[in-house]
Amino acid sequence: MVLQILVTIGVILFVLPNLYSSFKKKVLTPLALTIWVLCWIAGLILIWFPHLIDLIGLSFGVGRSIDAFVYVAIVYLIYASFVQKLKMNEISKDITTLNRKIALKDINSKDEKDV
Amino acid sequence: MNNKNIYIVLPAYCEGKVIKEVIRSIQNEGYNNIIVVDDGSVDNTYDESISAGAIALKHTINRGKGAATQTGLDAAKLLNADIAVTLDSDGQHNPKDIVKLVTPIAEGKADVVLGSRMLGEKGMPKSRILMNKIGNWVTYLFFGVLVTDSQSGFRAYSKKALESVYTSMDRYEFESEMLGQIKDAKLKIKEVPIKVIYTDYSLNKYKHHEGFSAQGLFNGIKMVIRLIENTLIK
């Protein structure tokens, strides 16, 4: 019960205002804001009424559906982390390339003039 | 030997206090084509380099020694260099050693010459020797090249080598990656002994890296992690 209350307070005091602030800064689109808010509300509902997960599990034919939920969440987090790493790597390389092009601009233009 | 088409590349980050002196000491050895790549410094490195007569290039954002070195090598290529020599910009490399690196390339005996602190160098701390050896074995493990000083930034590249190597690694691990590319391109490597000048400035700057310190170990681990990442994610 204490954990459920703490998580709920955390979501209401920190997560939702943070989402709204991101929306105001135009980091999130209205659609993204709606999806994130719905996800967090769904999470809160599942925390307060965990037997609902069993209903979902039953529809997929899994006995202890909380286990399946945790496994899927772990796989998703690993995948999301990997995708982010790839993206960050790509952005980092792009920044270096751009930096280099700007740095070499003068030499390139001098080279073209010489030709 | 004609020094006209020899370009010296100095990757520099916040070296405003010493860069002018380093450039002058290189010019005194007869090398006037000096490219300084200011890697997003927040001091006067760029202005000092220009006032000392170097070709100064600026990275708007700090990207690391590997990125700055590659920019310098690209510049040398664009300027039609026959040989490009990379040195550290804090004055720890002796410009009098440049000739030792350049001669084997000019004589056609090598495509890449590595300045090695481990060849005939006496007085190097044992902890430093151990760190260097670990670096060498890591390089061998990842790239299959075993040299005596894989992390030395004092290197010379022939025109052919400049066309063959291109590091995608921005930080210190680029030295190892380049050795792998040199091997893949079947370039001839030669190692020559160099002296390292330990000034108060360079000792203070690298005080965390000199011994087998927690910081040095941490940087080594970070380097290995980045090498693994680079092996997995191109």
Position B57: which residue type?
L
Residues A92, B170: C-beta atoms closer than 8 Å: yes
Within 8 A by CB and 6+ apart from B77, the residues are: B84, B162, B163
CATH code for the part of the protein at B6-123+148-197: 3.90.550.10
- The predicted structure's pLDDT at residue B210: 46
* Burial per residue of A74-89, b for 16 or more beta-carbon CB atoms within 10 angstroms, e otherwise: eeeeeeeeeeeeeeee
**What are the pLDDT digits (tens) for B93-132?**
999 999 999 999 999 999 999 999 888 666 667 777 788 8
**Nearest alpha-carbon partner for B20 in B66, B83, B89:** B89
| Domain ranges (residues) in chain B | 6-123+148-197
| Domain ranges (residues) in chain A | 1-49, 64-115
Low-confidence stretches of chain B (pLDDT beneath 70): 1, 120-124, 202-216, 233-234
Q: How far apart are CA B80 and CA B77, in angstroms?
A: 5
Residue carrying the six token digits 């291109």:
B166
Strand arrangement of the beta sheet that strand B6-12 belongs to:
B55-59, B34-39, B6-12, B83-86, B155-158, B112-116, B189-193
Interface of A with B (CB under 8 A): 85-86, 89, 92-93, 95-96, 99-100, 102-104, 106-108, 111
CA distance B48 to chain A (A): 17
CB A82 within 8 A of CB B48: no
CA distance A102 to chain B (A): 8
Beta pairing, strands B155-158 & B112-116? antiparallel
In terms of C-beta density within 10 A (0-12 exposed, 13-18 middle, 19 or more buried), how is residue A1 classed?
exposed
Within 8 A by CB and 6+ apart from B135, the residues are: B150, B151, B176, B220, B223
**Nearest alpha-carbon partner for B117 in B101, B132, B96:** B132
Residues B63, A99: C-beta atoms closer than 8 Å: yes
In this predicted complex, what is the ipTM? Answer: 0.85
**Nearest alpha-carbon partner for B167 in B185, B150, B180:** B180
Within 8 A by CB and 6+ apart from B40, the residues are: B13, B58, B59, B60, B61, B62, B63
**What are the pLDDT digits (tens) for A63-90?**
666 676 777 788 889 888 888 988 998 9
Residues B57, A104: C-beta atoms closer than 8 Å: yes
- The predicted structure's pLDDT at residue B122: 66
- The predicted structure's pLDDT at residue B216: 66
- The predicted structure's pLDDT at residue A114: 60
Q: How far apart are CA B97 and CA B91, in angstroms?
A: 12
* pLDDT at A112 exceeding the cut of 90: no
